[in-house]
Structure 1
């Protein structure tokens, strides 16, 4: 994963590289099947990390493989993250230096009874923040709901595309648990704010929900790059940007009058990419998305 991050960093525009010249190391802790706590060898790695924590922010993300149920694996990943945090605190790492501690459930896969040992892991990102003189902020946008909400509907701003685009949503062709990809919703890197060209797609989704009052959906958020800038939500700060993207669409739909009991939202980070390695900004936008899962119709 560290090699992937370095590759992605090289692909960023030069101005972004200057603005976010920060240091990352990644520590991987692997587990036996069903294990919640790190083993003896992993504890030695954590001891070394705890002994050199000064000036560093630690971000803990834990996973499980495909063995067992999704619900059980979600609990297992949370336990793994919690055990790592508890161990580091016990070893003297101040709690304010652990910026995030999250279990992200199971990673997709299938196979034999041994599971996938690479997916039974905790990733600890070691972030050393060092501000760079002259760094400029990334592009920012006002939240979608505050910028385009009107009583009678969304008004497409002047900066949006001349010909608004939206994905066809034919409910007669989808079943419960099917996922509809909203192909024309894009986001600013590192932000939950949609691009201006996406407003028509959001309005179309609102109209489908409004016209089908029995329809219930889950909004599922995704990110481009597994580490900064896209997986990291600048406002919090946490690595929950995929959740915030799904929530942004959820909040807008509720504000427009869709009953919140018909909606839910969830973030999947970069565990379900469409493009395995984003080589261009356009490919990055493919992964930077929100999808709609049909729960009831």
Structure 2
């Protein structure tokens, strides 16, 4: 089965709270920052909160493994060195790592997708006091909201639909509400939705590893698992889109207990057409 790795570009993706991601891109076989990238990094350096920056270099699979590893390191170092001269004392550069081709989030079937793998990701995290965490209010339940009250682009939760750690299989108590979801979609044929997958805990990557499929798009495979379920229930394929949002929009952060982690292993739903 061919899996498409969806890349979600976040620039100052705000969470009330906790985490952001910004990415800069490079030409093939280059680690030179262009002006657009410098402008983006200049903006990051203006952030005033107590923050930690973690920098990860990536590349497409052109060339051999050792050259790719070195290229990704050079890209990460180029970003790190540029930021060192810009950031305030409140921002800590914690990690600068070149990943080579180990954790690509796109396949390389087109030049556009290869370009998205030639990048450096800057993960930005708020500093927390020991024991401190944020808990975001859950979105309204899609299952309990009247269709007449729904608006296109609204986001909804799927209560009790949570996943086993590292896997795209939901816990058994999600079965009842997924059946309810399919019933609502069958009874309201005009509705179209986007399923948005989430993960917990993996802060070293945009997305987590699906231990069954051996890919680094766990949030996407979780959303796709629910799509596949709905298709088997008779919902038309063109009414369901999927997207993986990685770890960047947690309900609870940082995850201190297993209950926190379970809450973040979820899929949410955006109404795209009514």
TM-score normalised according to structure 2 size: 0.54
Q: Which runs of 5+ in 2 are unaligned?
A: 1-21, 34-39, 44-56, 70-99, 107-118, 124-140
Q: Quickly say closer, same or farther: Cα 1:101–1:201, change in 2 above 3 A.
A: same
Check 1:236–1:123 CA distance in 2 against 1; reply closer, same or farther (3 A cut).
farther
1:279 to 256, 266, 273: 256
Distance 1:280 1:295, change over 3 A: same
Say whether the 8 Å CA contact 1:210–1:258 is kept in structure 2.
yes
User: What TM-score, normalized by structure 1, do the two folds share?
Assistant: 0.50
CA apart distance, 1:257 = 0.5
- CA distance change for structure 1 residues 81 and 121 in 2, over 3 Å: closer, same or farther? closer
Structure with the greater relative contact order (CA < 8 A, sep ≥ 6): 1 or 2?
Answer: 2
Contact 1:166 1:204 in 2 (8 A): no
Aligned equivalent of 1:45: none
Match of 1:171 in 2: 147
Paired residue secondary structure (2:231): helix
Structure 1 residues 238 and 227 mapped into 2: Cα distance closer, same or farther (>3 Å)?
A: farther
2:253 match: secondary structure: coil
CA distance in 2, matches of 1:275, 1:188: 17
Take 2:31 and 2:190, find their aligned partners in 1: how far apart are those partners? 49
Name which of 170, 184, 195 aligns with 1:208. 184
1:225, CA displacement in angstroms? 1.2
1:285 CA drift (Å): 1.4
Could you tell me whether the CA contact under 8 Å between 1:220 and 1:266 is conserved in 2?
A: yes
Preserved contact between residue 166 and residue 201 of structure 1 (Cα < 8 Å):
no
CA distance in structure 2 between the aligned counterparts of 1:92 and 1:212, rounded to whole angstroms: 50
User: Which consecutive unaligned segments of at least 5 residues does structure 1 have?
Assistant: 1-28, 42-63, 68-79, 104-119, 125-164
Structure 2 equivalent of residue 102 of structure 1: 105
Residue correspondence of structure 1 range 1-297 to structure 2 within 5 A = 31=24, 39=31, 81-82=58-59, 85-86=61-62, 89=65, 91=67, 98-102=101-105, 121-122=120-121, 167-226=143-202, 231-297=208-274
1:170 Cα deviation from its structure 2 partner: 2.1
TM-fit CA distance, 1:217: 0.4
CA RMSD of aligned residues (A): 3.7
How far is 1:91 from its partner?
A: 1.5
SS in 1 for 2:243: strand
Query: How many angstroms apart in 1 are the aligned matches of 2:193 and 2:160?
Result: 18
Inter-partner Cα distance in structure 1 for 2:257 and 2:211 = 22
Contact 2:197 2:223 in 1 (8 A): yes
1-structure distance, mates of 2:169, 2:175: 11
How far the C-alpha of 1:252 sits from its partner, in A, is: 0.5
Contact 1:81/1:102 (CA < 8 Å) preserved in 2? no
